[in-house]
Structure formats: structure tokens, C-alpha cells
Amino acid sequence: MQIKTLLTVGAIAAFSFTALADDGHDNNNNNNNNNNNNGSFQSSVIGSVTGLMIGGVVSGGAPWVVNQGGASVSSDGRIHVEVQGLLIGAGASDPTLAGTTATVTMVGAALVCGGSGGALVALPAAGVTPSPLSSLGNAVIDQATMMPAACLGPVVLVQIFNPAAAQLGPFIAATGLTPNAAQNQNQNQNQNNNNHGGGDHGH
């Protein structure tokens, strides 16, 4: 239960952004120039656990883990996701599937606004742009969305893509935070090293 809470809270707690229209809003865009991401949303990506629902989408029937992953959403609604080592984790009903992608060979991305209880953002007429998931669990996804005027509590989902039905299924990863994750520790260590390096100049 604690893991589920952390996933949901980590995914929605502190992130929000507003998509600014380009038509006739040059003055507003000047304010955005102060932000290198131009109003974009960025987050790490973590594997899902069973029994979750975000934006009306259920999580997969097995736990998944991510070795490394990140997602971003631009102010015009373009999702970009990169994952490495997106694999079934320990605790699957079939233990032999741990460390594999099982039958999942394609994935796609979706955006939810409003946190875990929010709603999926509509896709353009072109629909889902699926990407292959390698046997090592590596994938790069680019997906356009019909970004609303504002998106509070954004969550990016990585979902299984069913080629036969040409649609997305359960999600197996999402934006969020994992306590004591190795990548977070590395980032903190790098920051500490930079701080110590800056202090040495003062001696």
C-alpha cells in the first residue's frame, strides 16, 4: 500500500504547467523565455505496480521496473519518453517472466491532466504513435496530444500497445519518484561534488 501511495503522490504532487497558445501572445512568451523548458514538464519514469488506476487507465497485471527513464511534455503537448530496462519485476504470478518483457513488444505514451483521478488528454487525428520495446526493455516514444489550455498535475503513462486492436492497453510505467532511487542518489552526489568544488575556490 505504501508503494502505491508513493507512486501516486510522486507522480502528481508537485508538477503542473500551463500550455500557452502561440497566436497573438508574444508578450506572454517573453515571460516563458525565463524558463529554458518553455513551460514544459519533465520527470523521471518508474515502473508500475498492480492494482493502480490513473486517469481511468489500469496498471498491468504484473509489477514492472525501470532501470532508467525520463519523460517530458512540451507546452504544445508533445510527449517524449525514453526508458531503459523496462522489465517485469519480482512478484509476477509467473516467476519465469521476471526480467523480461513477456509478450509486450510495442508501447505508447499518453498524458493525463488532473493527477491520478484526472482524465486522458485527447490525441490528434493521427492517433497513437507506438514504438517498439526491445527485449532489453528499451524504448523511445514520441507522441503528439491535443494539449488543453492548462494541465494541472500532469502524469505521463507508458502503456502496452496492442497491434491487433491498434490501441493502447494497461500502463506499465508512469512519471513518478522512487525513494532512494540510484539515479536520485547520483544526482545528489553530483550536486554535492559541485558544491564542494565551488567552495574550494574560496580558499
Q: What pLDDT is recorded for position 92?
A: 94
**pLDDT band per the 50, 70, 90 thresholds, residue 17:** very low
User: What cell does 34 get?
Assistant: 525565463
pLDDT tens-digit series, residues 78-124: 999 999 999 999 999 999 999 999 999 999 999 999 999 999 999 99
What is the DSSP secondary structure assignment for residue 155, as one 8-state letter? E
Q: Is the pLDDT of residue 23 over 50?
A: no
Residue 91 · residue 63 · CB < 8 Å: yes
Q: Is the pLDDT of residue 77 over 90?
A: yes
Backbone angles phi, psi at 79, to 5 degrees: -95, 135
pLDDT tens-digit series, residues 137-179: 999 999 999 999 999 999 999 999 999 999 999 999 999 998 7
Q: Which residue has better confidence, 183 or 167?
A: 167
Q: What pLDDT is recorded for position 122?
A: 97
Q: Taking phi first (over 0 means left), then psi (-120 to 50 degrees means alpha), and beta for anything else, what does residue 131 get?
A: beta
**pLDDT band per the 50, 70, 90 thresholds, residue 203:** very low
Q: What pLDDT is recorded for position 179?
A: 78
Residue 14 CB contacts under 8 Å (≥ 6 apart), including other chains: none
Rounded distance between C-alpha atoms, residue 202 and residue 115, angstroms: 45
- How high does pLDDT run on average in the chain? 80
**pLDDT band per the 50, 70, 90 thresholds, residue 39:** low
Q: Which residue has better confidence, 187 or 60?
A: 60
Q: What pLDDT is recorded for position 143?
A: 98
What is the DSSP secondary structure assignment for residue 59, as one 8-state letter? B
Rounded distance between C-alpha atoms, residue 55 and residue 40, angstroms: 20
Q: What pLDDT is recorded for position 178?
A: 82
